[in-house]
């Protein structure tokens, strides 16, 4: 909305600042941060009033981990709504709408709704199950299909979106991926990213802290991909209009910092699936649209570690009837080894920052 003030530059010169992505990203991030802090007390009061507490798993399910997390039983969930409203309002205020921004916001809203329904069912039924895997998969598949339809039919994105770029290569590996293959690729990026962050959201501050790091990197990548001169210098894909996604990533950082204030140990609120499923899907889609989806494996290394630990644990148990880790996802393994929750989180943050820097370095290694 405010971006249109740039058209009044002739009336007052400084209004030209609203034309610049960097200006709107900075002030939009500050707006999201302010909204997050302003909204949090009211939202926490509502969540507590309606007793929206996610039921924690008991000893029969998680053993001694139940004792370590016993003090979390009255912590409200659905805190992801705070991040969603902070980002959405910032989009309405600062964004310059285009196909990339609107698609990203639509996917974020759809997956927030999915997470909200899942969290609500957990609270209403007073169990830790919520929606089953099939229901979630149908929803996520529908979101991926609608997303691809929009991006592949809109004139501003139809041609570029079918290119496949791989880190360290100077040219697209595939210039025009067939739509069916592109759908499968998009589906795995969206669902993989969404579920990976969902698995990471198990202890106070872990998921949102790592998400902030990844969002910062994709803020830079989106800006570079939308800037013709920088994209040419770095020999990466130039996608006109995609630079606006850097603003969304910046707003995600601001909203994430506000949420982290309340989610840090001991957490006053959990983001729940309302936040984790949606944030993962949003970041995955941004990576897809700026032609850096495979780089997400590096930048989001912590999320990959968490997801792989679950896959390895399940595979080992089903094939050999033994467990590789004391418990998966892997952050619980370290908790059960005796690491304090805060130590696990801080060390994972450090690793997340290292992964982010390595991923950012791939922009120059071509």
Residue 72: predicted pLDDT: 79
Residue 34 CB coordination number (10 Å): 15
Residue 157: predicted pLDDT: 92
Residue 164's beta-bridge partner residues?
174
* DSSP assignment letter at 267: P
Q: What angle do CA 244, 302, 361 make, to 5 degrees?
A: 55
47-88: pLDDT as tens digits: 888 878 776 666 656 667 767 777 877 889 899 999 999 999
Residue 62: predicted pLDDT: 65
- pLDDT tier at 17 (50, 70, 90 boundaries)? confident
Residue 334: predicted pLDDT: 95
230-256: pLDDT as tens digits: 999 999 999 999 999 999 999 899 999
Phi, psi of 168 (to 5 degrees): 80, -5
Average pLDDT, the chain: 90
Domain ranges within the chain, ordered by starting residue? 2-43+79-297
Angle between helices 244-263 and 272-289 (to 10 degrees): 160
The pLDDT of 295-321, averaged and rounded, is 94
Residue 103: predicted pLDDT: 96
Residue 53: predicted pLDDT: 77
Residue 12: predicted pLDDT: 73
Residue 93: predicted pLDDT: 87
333-364: pLDDT as tens digits: 999 999 999 999 999 999 999 999 999 999 98
């Amino acid at each position: 909305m405010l971006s249109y003030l740039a058209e009044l530059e002739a009336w007052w010169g400084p209004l030209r600042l609203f034309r610049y992505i960097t200006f709107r990203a900075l002030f939009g991030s500050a707006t999201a941060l302010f909204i997050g802090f302003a909204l949090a007390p009211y939202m926490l009061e509502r969540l507590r009033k309606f007793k929206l507490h996610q039921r924690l798993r008991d000893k029969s399910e998680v053993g001694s981990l139940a004792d370590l997390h016993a003090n979390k039983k009255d912590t409200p969930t659905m805190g992801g709504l705070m991040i969603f409203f902070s980002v959405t309002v910032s989009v309405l205020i600062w964004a310059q709408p285009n196909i990339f921004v609107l698609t990203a916001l639509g996917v974020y809203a759809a997956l927030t709704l999915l997470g909200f329904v899942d969290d609500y069912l957990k609270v209403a039924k007073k169990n830790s199950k919520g929606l089953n895997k099939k229901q979630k998969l149908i929803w996520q598949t529908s979101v991926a299909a609608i997303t691809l339809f929009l991006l592949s039919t809109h004139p501003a994105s139809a041609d570029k979106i079918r290119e496949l770029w791989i880190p360290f290569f100077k040219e697209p590996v595939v210039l025009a991926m067939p739509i069916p293959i592109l759908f499968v690729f998009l589906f795995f990026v969206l669902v993989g990213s969404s579920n990976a962050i969902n698995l990471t959201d198990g202890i106070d501050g872990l998921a949102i802290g790592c998400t902030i790091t990844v969002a910062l990197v994709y803020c830079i990548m989106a800006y570079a991909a939308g800037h013709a001169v920088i994209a040419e210098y770095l020999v990466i894909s130039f996608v006109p209009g995609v630079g606006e996604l850097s603003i969304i990533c910046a707003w995600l950082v601001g909203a994430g910092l506000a949420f982290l204030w309340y989610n840090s140990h001991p957490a006053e609120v959990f983001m729940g699936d309302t936040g984790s499923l949606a944030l993962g899907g949003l970041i995955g889609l941004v990576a897809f649209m700026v032609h850096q989806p495979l780089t997400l494996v590096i930048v989001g290394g912590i999320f990959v570690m968490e997801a792989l630990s679950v896959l390895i644990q399940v595979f080992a148990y089903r094939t050999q009837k033994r467990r590789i880790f004391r418990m998966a996802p892997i952050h619980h393994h370290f908790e059960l080894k005796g690491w304090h929750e805060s130590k696990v989180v801080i060390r994972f943050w450090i690793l997340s920052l290292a992964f982010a820097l390595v991923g950012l370095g791939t922009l120059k290694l071509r």
